[in-house]
Structure 1
Amino acid sequence: MAARVLAAGGVLALVVAVAVVLLLNNGGRQERGPLNRDVPVERDAEPAVTERRLDARRMELTIESAALGATTRVRLLLPKGWSREADRTWPVLWLLHGGFDSYTSWTSRTDVDDLTEDTGVIVVMPDGGRCGSYSDWWNGGSGGPPRWATYHLKELLPLLETRYRAGGRRAVAGYSMGGQGAMLYAAEGHFQAAASFSGAVHILAPGVPQAVMAGTTFGCPGTDWKRVWGDPDEQRAVWRAHNPYDQAERLRGVRLVVASGTAELWEDPAEHLAGKAGRAFAARLGELGIEVETHFYRGRHDHAHWQKELRRAYPTLMRAIGAR
């Protein structure tokens, strides 16, 4: 399939394919039910956990996830005064990475440690997998691992509440593939605020599904792109269920931030697509009468800009969850 896409589009198709690799990866078998913010998280069995304290604030968890059928990791930044024996909870900020990165990327490539140092918030940075797409994979209609959304929302989220004093006020933000994940997870009703930085927030825009196919093939060798959401025509409902643009109505009531660069295609293909997706997504929210804070700027698909955008969005996210 990837070969046919490239043959049809020549050099331009290759450029777009590479861009989507970056957009979805760098730098769910059916539609979800109605959004209900008052319903507690449905909990899967609590996974086995090993923890390691890296320094005064950093803690790393190794988790045996049934949803993934594998062992995975998550990094926490704990607030000053945190204790598992405390008689209080703390608001939570989830930070999601792009698919070429890992759970360590936010702390290794941005200044999130300094940004959050004096804020009473638990920062959660889970692994989202290479080409994981923050989705329960379709797997030919049979489901099964990896189930990234189930792991994050039904295993990890409750675990943080029961063992690490995480409270019910939560914000989520992510870059690239993580921007898509942030909006999808917010649409599930468990976050009061969500931010997308250069996010893949419209995966069904014209030409993008074909580039996604090629991008997954090139960016994650050995991964059958159909395992994630199926064929974009035959399993259209599955793709729409994982497309923030199509799920926009379910974000009503969430405090939203959307930011991306406005690079030309020849300057930065990935950010060019992200910018188009971000503007289309923001316009869709506007059509629905859903408030969104936007920032479209001259910039590239890189961590330097995502750090700046997190700093820009941070006050909005913190106000939404009552953190200071």
Structure 2
Amino acid sequence: MSVVSRRSARRRRGFPAAALAAPLTLALAVTLGVPAAGAQEDVFDGPAVDVQETPVEDTTPRAETGNIAPPAASPFSVLDPGPAEHVDVLRTEIAPDVPGLPDGVEVTKVEWLDSHWANISITSPSMDGEVQKVQLHLARDWYSDPDRDFPSLWMLGGLWGSEQENGWSYKTDTVRFFADKNVNLVLPVGGSGSFYTDWQQPDNGQNYQWETFLTQELPPVLAQWRTRDDQRAVVGLSMGATSAVNLAARNPDMFDAVGSFSGYLDTTSPGMPQLFDQNLKSAGFDATKMWGPYYSRDWREHDPKLNVRSLRGKLVYVSAGNGKPGAHDDQGDHPEIISNPMEAGSRVTSQTFVNAAKLAGVDVIARWRPNGTHNWPYWEPELHEMWPMIAEKWGIDAGDLAAECTVDGVFAEAVERSRGTDVGECISNVYAGPDGGEIQDFEGARFFRAPDSDTAYAQWGRTGALYSSMGGASSWLGYPVSEEESLSKGVYVRYEHGRIHWTGEYGAVAVRDDVIAAWERKNWEHGFGYPVSAEVDIQDADGKVIGQSQRFERGTIIRNTASGEVFSVQGLIGDRYLELGGPNSVLGFPVRDEETLGDPQGAYSAFENGLMYYSDNSGTHLLLNGPLLEAWKDAGYEHADGLGYPTSDEVVGADGSRYCDFERGRITVDADGVATVTRTASPEDAGQTGGTGGTGDATDAGEAA
């Protein structure tokens, strides 16, 4: 006996069975696996399908490259975009303040990869607090029109994909194609095998709740990125195409255009749930944990053809090939034969969807390609063809569809000077920069002219991208005063108030002028090495910012906010100082750069509250300002007629007394501050080393200094 819900019956009314059932050719094109019958709620008992089960590897480990790949020799391997090429993160904003987000939704960080590409990491309460990453590629006029909000195009990937980057951005020309267009691209990362839907049960270590994330948690975040809420389009390929149509149909107020490229737009005709399950098994998932038992309510509520009425009034674009070899395939010996059942299946189910749309009075733009398989080269041109239709739907001005700009004056001179660099075509006219300067944007660079300057400088590559992500001329760097200049390792650009250095090891790093002055004192990269990371704040125990530090290959440069002084620490002294807590340690901020000492060889650094000394024989130890240090000074410091280098830290007792061991003696200070020097070797033994056998590690006796 059939059991059909009232809701399902209403949706099917007026649809002939022929329009809803997948033709027999689909069953011939694919081998389906049908599990044994079991209890199912609210079941539609379609005709039985007599098929054979094909074993499929049911686990797919994440590769070290960060992408989920199909099993070896799998027929699904053509869908795998492969790992994304590594792109350095230029700048990371940790937990930026984003107001107005739903409870539990938090932006944990924003990573800038170039001037128009930001990766946003978002905590998703619907997915048990997991952090989801979304690529955002900013509209052309993001910088030149800072008060404007932009429409958005959402792009969903296929069954397989990288966990680091959305396949659309590295398997197609999408980013370059939209570089001169005023639309924000929203590219969710990950979600392989998810169908971007809310799953009934966790599976394969994932609690997928993608629909909730995309429709409820993500939009408030995107609003902070000047993304309009009344002009959204969503497109997808293969799995992502099914998902795009479902998202648009199930959330009709959210998207006004939807595109399906080689999607499966029928989930409940006989055999279709089994086909979905077979595909998902190849990714290590169980389709019944996604939408429950086959043909049940949740399957019908995620069937694009049954929900097609919700798409009325939207731009709906559907395309598919026929599975025969096309222009991007090896023709083989029999090009007339369907060689790709996946695309044939897409073609059949897409046709079923279009048939249902016609019966429901929903306009669909269908593109049936005479040849072509289920592969990336066929999806890129579909996006190119659909985009003008989306733009027309939104009523976008012609000026937002392509750049109309001219290059002249100092900017033309700068372009000529930059020949040999891929700056591309202009995508804006000259517009006002801060304080009366000027800026002009190109596909691969941005050009800046400072106020009262008769020269514009190009900013490109990783240095230029970091500069833009920091705010360009509005940042503390100010305007550029040079273009990239080469060093023995990497390149650098000079600005009004600092530099950006790039090396292959450390990427692009910005350095302020006062840090550059301290770096110069240490003989630049020849003595101190290259900058390793960006400047970071130093906070005290109450969270107050008291300074900044910046790491270099062979040391750290530290700024004291109160005094404005900037000094460096390096080597083993620097390592020990930072281990103790740096400026938050008992020593405080450095007040001089490290200095080397003569014979015997050693070094020391001076700090607000003491000194730290090093020698190969004695190690690294600290002394505090006060009577003990004064007594060492009076006794001749480390010199041949003195006590030698310290062999322990200064140790403070509970009563305020203290002591420190040296290579040739010990100094003790009683509770009243009276110092006593005890020598264990005469000045004539200055060349000998060895101490008194004192405590050594200051933490083992009394209170460590």
For 2:114, what is the secondary structure of its paired residue?
coil
For 2:111, what is the secondary structure of its paired residue?
strand
Q: For residues 270 and 260 of structure 1, what CA distance do their matches in structure 2 show?
A: 10
Instruction: Give the superposition deviation at 1:204.
Output: 1.6
Structure 2 partner of 1:63: 122
1:167–1:270 CA distance, 2 compared to 1 (3 A): same
Asked if 1:145 corresponds to 2:204, the answer is: no
Structure 2 partner of 1:9: 51
Contact 2:159–2:193 at 8 Å: present in 1 too?
yes
Q: For residues 102 and 299 of structure 2, what CA distance do their matches in structure 1 show?
A: 25
Deviation by residue 1:111-165 (Cα, 9 ceiling, x = unmatched): 001211111000000135121111111129xxx932110001101122101x101
For 1:216, what is the secondary structure of its paired residue?
helix
Map 1:1-324 to 2 at 5 A.
2=33, 9-10=51-52, 22=76, 45-69=104-128, 70-83=130-143, 86-102=146-162, 103-127=165-189, 129-139=191-201, 145-161=207-223, 163-168=224-229, 169-187=231-249, 188-189=251-252, 190-217=254-281, 219-221=282-284, 223-233=285-295, 236-263=296-323, 266-297=338-369, 298-323=371-396, 324=401
Deviation by residue 1:176-227 (Cα, 9 ceiling, x = unmatched): 011111111111120110000001211123212112222222x222x33321
Runs of 4+ in 1 over 6 A off after TM superposition: none
Structure 2: any 5+ residue segments left out of the alignment?
1-31, 37-49, 57-69, 82-100, 325-336, 402-705
Instruction: Give the superposition deviation at 1:43.
Output: 5.4
Structure 2 partner of 1:33: none
Deviation by residue 1:70-123 (Cα, 9 ceiling, x = unmatched): 112111111123159932210110011112024420011000012111110000
Q: For residues 304 and 251 of structure 1, what CA distance do their matches in structure 2 show?
A: 28
Q: For residues 209 and 134 of structure 1, what CA distance do their matches in structure 2 show?
A: 17
Greater Cα offset, 298-307 or 207-216: 207-216
The alignment yields a C-alpha RMSD, in angstroms, of: 2.9
For 2:127, what is the secondary structure of its paired residue?
coil
For 1:272, what is the secondary structure of its paired residue?
helix
Q: For residues 182 and 198 of structure 1, what CA distance do their matches in structure 2 show?
A: 12
Greater Cα offset, 163-172 or 264-273: 264-273
Q: For residues 64 and 295 of structure 1, what CA distance do their matches in structure 2 show?
A: 38
Q: For residues 269 and 80 of structure 2, what CA distance do their matches in structure 1 show?
A: 19
1:44–1:147 CA distance, 2 compared to 1 (3 A): farther
1:118–1:55 CA distance, 2 compared to 1 (3 A): same
Larger RCO: 1 or 2 (CA < 8 Å, sep 6+): 1
Instruction: Give the superposition deviation at 1:322.
Output: 3.3
More strand by share: 2
Contact 1:79–1:122 at 8 Å: present in 2 too?
yes
TM-score by length of 1: 0.83
1:110–1:274 CA distance, 2 compared to 1 (3 A): same
For 2:228, give the aligned amino acid: G
Deviation by residue 1:255-307 (Cα, 9 ceiling, x = unmatched): 11000111258410110100101111111111111111110111111110000
For 1:257, what is the secondary structure of its paired residue?
strand
Greater Cα offset, 68-77 or 146-155: 68-77
1:248–1:61 CA distance, 2 compared to 1 (3 A): same
Q: For residues 262 and 185 of structure 1, what CA distance do their matches in structure 2 show?
A: 25
For 2:318, what is the secondary structure of its paired residue?
strand
Q: For residues 384 and 138 of structure 2, what CA distance do their matches in structure 1 show?
A: 18
1:44–1:284 CA distance, 2 compared to 1 (3 A): farther
Deviation by residue 1:207-255 (Cα, 9 ceiling, x = unmatched): 12112222222x222x33321011114xx11001111111101111111
1:247–1:225 CA distance, 2 compared to 1 (3 A): same
For 2:297, what is the secondary structure of its paired residue?
helix
For 1:67, what is the secondary structure of its paired residue?
helix
Aligned residue-pair number: 296
Deviation by residue 1:36-59 (Cα, 9 ceiling, x = unmatched): xxxxxx956432331111112211
Contact 1:26–1:100 at 8 Å: present in 2 too?
yes
For 2:279, what is the secondary structure of its paired residue?
helix
1:14–1:259 CA distance, 2 compared to 1 (3 A): farther
Q: For residues 265 and 76 of structure 2, what CA distance do their matches in structure 1 show?
A: 14
Q: Which has the larger radius of gyration?
A: 2
Q: For residues 363 and 75 of structure 2, what CA distance do their matches in structure 1 show?
A: 30
1:113–1:263 CA distance, 2 compared to 1 (3 A): same
Q: For residues 267 and 362 of structure 2, what CA distance do their matches in structure 1 show?
A: 20
TM-score by length of 2: 0.39
Q: For residues 182 and 262 of structure 1, what CA distance do their matches in structure 2 show?
A: 21
1:47–1:296 CA distance, 2 compared to 1 (3 A): same
Q: For residues 144 and 267 of structure 2, what CA distance do their matches in structure 1 show?
A: 40
Contact 2:155–2:168 at 8 Å: present in 1 too?
yes
For 2:111, give the aligned amino acid: R
